Structure 1
Amino acid sequence: MKIVEIREKTVPISSPIRNAYIDFSKMTLSLVAVITDVVRDGKPVVGYGFNSNGRYGQGQLMRERFLPRIMEAKPDTLLGANGVIDPHKVWDTLFRNEKPGGHGERSVAMGTIDMAVWDAVAKIENKPLFQLLADRHGDGTVKRKVFVYAAGGYYYPGKDDEQLKNEMRGYLDRGYSVVKMKIGGASLAEDRRRIESVLSILGDGQRLCVDANGRFDMDTAIAYAKALQQYGLFWYEEAGDPLDYELQSILRSYYTNPMATGENLFSMQDARNLIRYGGMRPDRDWLQFDCALSYGLVEYLRTLDMLKQHGWSASRCVPHGGHQMSLNIAAGLGLGGNESYPDLFQPYGGFPDGVKVDNSFVTMPDLPGIGFEGKADLIREMRALAS
């Protein structure tokens, strides 16, 4: 068994939306196909992967460094004891001759390739990835119903409060009971007005998250914390720079309700520093590490081990990204849920066709691998790359 070829294509997911820090007018992602020599129904088994929104495609980095390392490796050095491609050995090969630290862009490149490898391995074993993970790294138990929330509420040219409310009503009408909106791209007074407009349409059991995308300095983060405390939000997300652990730690003195952060920490070591020094509270706060941006599932497993050692439950993890890879991890390894983009970044966001949201939960379908084949618009683009 071997990997025959790996292909990458950089594709646009551009949009006129913006958050507090960036706009998405030139946003791209990398789509990867890992083609194996295993044949099913007359066709080779292919694993697919892509990186999450908010970080750009990494094709050049893959082609110059990472893909040649895999293709130049002896095939048997990438296999496990069962004779199947071993994602951990692939990961070790990808990281060969890389120094520690400096996680930024290479963690995205490796995470994208890693996703495709896991998709291929689960398909070869003819299992949904969530079941493969539960069997290999859990007790075999799968959490078939996974919590999801609807992410949106971006700033958009000409978008007023009524349009924001209509957007959120659309998510609620589709079965979400938790929705998220952006803050920090306007004044505190304007953001408070926007927040209150969304809160005015929420019913019993429906909650709002807000996300500042790391925009605030200490004084602004505290000012927002004092203003937000009254609203009973589901969480206050990424107030300051993701590496400013002191800001995050101090903020808990001003905000007793749940906070969330971690989507822009791209290694187990950075995640560990957040847990050590960021003042995060395991009884209420949420961790948003995204495997597709942080070296992939192999590294995410190390992160989960670290969290356990520090007294954290995997159920406090709700990954960023809105992709089916994290959805499988949530089901197979007992995470607290997953982000969802019902309308944005299509066809890469969302669920397999026919999967419905019920009170912010989805039920995992029995599809081999990550389940991309169940989403018609997405698998069409993936197969075009592999064919």
Structure 2
Amino acid sequence: MKITKVEVKTVPISSPIRNAYIDFSKMTASALAVTTDVIKDGKPVVGYGFNSNGRYAPTCLLNERFIPRLLEADPKDTLTDDGSNLDPHKIHKIIMANEKPGGHGERAVAVGVIDMAIWDAVAKIEEKPLYQLLADRYGDGTVDEKVYIYAAGGYYFPDKGLKELQEEMKGYLDLGYKDVKMKVGGASIEEDVKRIEAVLDILPKGSGLMVDANGRFDLNTAIEFGERVKEYELIWYEEAGDPLDYHLQAELSKRYPHATATGENLFSLQDATNLIRYGGMNPDKDFLQFDCALSYGLVEYLRILDMLKEHGWSSRRCIPHGGHQMSLNIASGLALHGNESYPGVFEPFGGFADNYAVEDGYVKLPDVPGIGFEAKSNLYELLKTIGD
């Protein structure tokens, strides 16, 4: 048993939107396919992966460093001890050979793309959905049959006013979402408060709002914004400052009385550990948004979950960034709080399986082997073109 081929291509995910820091008009992603010599249903098993960081594709890193290491490895070194399947942990070690500590950034994303494809192949070889494989290996076999998701939106579009913002959020509610998230920090505090109030005005009883500043604020502004919005009792106040500014997060946590959330731009176990050590976050109310696809993949994410447990955090306080099927599988199989969703944005990579509607803020997963890309037709059509 061995990997016979690894192919990657760069694809666009452009969109005319922006958050507090960046616009998405020229964004790209890497899409990757790992082909094995295992035959299922008359065809070789192929695992797929994708992602980008800051929404730029790490294709050069994949081609120059990580794919060659994987292909040059002795096939037996990539397998489980009994030789029955690929071993993601051994493969992680192979592709990270000769990499110095630190320096995470886009390297973490490139490794995460390969990791995703390997886990997809592993689950397909075992003929299980990834969420069930994870529950069997790392839990008691029990999965969450449906996963909580919220609709992330509220971006700054050209000529988008309060009415258009309200209509956007109403659209998410009509799709079956219960809770919604909007961007802040890309306008003045006064304007953003008006935008928040406009959204709260249209939310029905039982629905809630999160806000995301995408790291825009300095300490004083983060605290000032928190003071202005604390009366609204938001579900959470997300990434107020630079993701590595643990002092800012700690000071904000002292002053802001409700839940905060952060972690999507921390790309390693060590960075996640530093947040827990020094960020002043509360395991009883705050949320952690580490995205395995951005942070060396599921192998590293499992280490992060172990670290959190040692520090008294429940996996139920984790709700991954990303809005894709990989995170959805992890949420179901590893008992996380839920998953993000970007309705209609970053297609075809965002979103979940066809014909699985959101109901009261939850979505079910398809019973198909692997991550389930084959059950999302527009994404699978793209993935099949890798190598063309």
TM-score of the two chains, using structure 2 as the length reference: 0.98
Percent identity for Structure 1 against Structure 2: 66
**Structure 1 letter corresponding to 2:73:** A
CA offsets 1:195-226 (integer angstroms, 9 cap, x no match): 10000000011001000000000110011000
Counterpart of 1:26 in structure 2 is 26
Task: Give the Cα separation in 1 of the matches to 2:151 and 2:112.
Answer: 24
State the shift of 1:384 in Å.
1.5
State the shift of 1:52 in Å.
5.0
**1:340–1:350 contact (8 Å) kept in structure 2:** yes
Counterpart of 2:272 in structure 1 is 271
Counterpart of 1:44 in structure 2 is 44
**1:289–1:320 contact (8 Å) kept in structure 2:** yes
Task: Give the Cα separation in 1 of the matches to 2:54 and 2:293.
Answer: 11
Task: Give the Cα separation in 1 of the matches to 2:100 and 2:350.
Answer: 33
Q: Does 1:75 align with 2:70?
A: no
Q: How does 1:244-259 map to 2 (within 5 A)?
A: 244-259=245-260
Specify every segment of 5 or more residues in structure 2 that has no aligned partner in the other structure, as ranges.
none
Task: Give the Cα separation in 2 of the matches to 1:192 and 1:360.
Answer: 25
Counterpart of 1:16 in structure 2 is 16
State the shift of 1:41 in Å.
1.9
**Structure 1 letter corresponding to 2:217:** F
State the shift of 1:55 in Å.
3.3
Specify every segment of 5 or more residues in structure 1 that has no aligned partner in the other structure, as ranges.
none
Counterpart of 1:168 in structure 2 is 169
Show structure 1 runs of 4+ deviating over 4 A. Answer: none
State the shift of 1:237 in Å.
0.2
Q: CA RMSD in A?
A: 0.9
**2:6–2:33 contact (8 Å) kept in structure 1:** yes
SS at match of 1:252: helix
Counterpart of 1:118 in structure 2 is 119
Q: How does 1:105-184 map to 2 (within 5 A)?
A: 105-184=106-185
SS at match of 1:362: strand
State the shift of 1:386 in Å.
5.4
Task: Give the Cα separation in 2 of the matches to 1:4 and 1:324.
Answer: 25
Task: Give the Cα separation in 2 of the matches to 1:52 and 1:274.
Answer: 23
**Structure 1 letter corresponding to 2:62:** M
CA offsets 1:226-276 (integer angstroms, 9 cap, x no match): 011011111100000000000000001221111100000000100000000
State the shift of 1:299 in Å.
0.2
**1:165–1:197 contact (8 Å) kept in structure 2:** yes
**2:34–2:48 contact (8 Å) kept in structure 1:** yes
Task: Give the Cα separation in 2 of the matches to 1:253 and 1:103.
Answer: 29
Task: Give the Cα separation in 1 of the matches to 2:210 and 2:159.
Answer: 22
Counterpart of 1:340 in structure 2 is 341
CA offsets 1:166-210 (integer angstroms, 9 cap, x no match): 110010011101101000000000000001000000001100100
Change (3 A) 1:236 1:206: same
Task: Give the Cα separation in 2 of the matches to 1:253 and 1:276.
Answer: 15
SS at match of 1:351: coil
Task: Give the Cα separation in 2 of the matches to 1:363 and 1:386.
Answer: 32
**2:52–2:58 contact (8 Å) kept in structure 1:** no
State the shift of 1:53 in Å.
6.2
SS at match of 2:332: helix
SS at match of 1:241: coil
Task: Give the Cα separation in 1 of the matches to 2:237 and 2:51.
Answer: 25
**Structure 2 letter corresponding to 1:375:** K
**1:35–1:386 contact (8 Å) kept in structure 2:** no
CA offsets 1:266-313 (integer angstroms, 9 cap, x no match): 001000000000001000000000001000000000000000000000
Q: Does 1:320 align with 2:321?
A: yes
CA offsets 1:8-54 (integer angstroms, 9 cap, x no match): 11111111100001111111110010111111222111000111563
**1:165–1:198 contact (8 Å) kept in structure 2:** yes
Counterpart of 1:306 in structure 2 is 307
Task: Give the Cα separation in 1 of the matches to 2:361 and 2:197.
Answer: 21
CA offsets 1:80-122 (integer angstroms, 9 cap, x no match): 0232110111100010011111111100000011000000010
Task: Give the Cα separation in 1 of the matches to 2:271 and 2:219.
Answer: 20
Task: Give the Cα separation in 1 of the matches to 2:54 and 2:209.
Answer: 22
State the shift of 1:145 in Å.
1.2
Task: Give the Cα separation in 1 of the matches to 2:302 and 2:251.
Answer: 29
**Structure 1 letter corresponding to 2:357:** K
**Structure 2 letter corresponding to 1:280:** M
**Structure 2 letter corresponding to 1:26:** K
TM-score of the two chains, using structure 1 as the length reference: 0.99
Counterpart of 2:5 in structure 1 is 5
**Structure 2 letter corresponding to 1:105:** E
Q: How does 1:278-289 map to 2 (within 5 A)?
A: 278-289=279-290
**1:176–1:359 contact (8 Å) kept in structure 2:** yes
State the shift of 1:359 in Å.
1.1
SS at match of 1:100: coil
Q: Does 1:383 align with 2:384?
A: yes
**2:28–2:52 contact (8 Å) kept in structure 1:** no
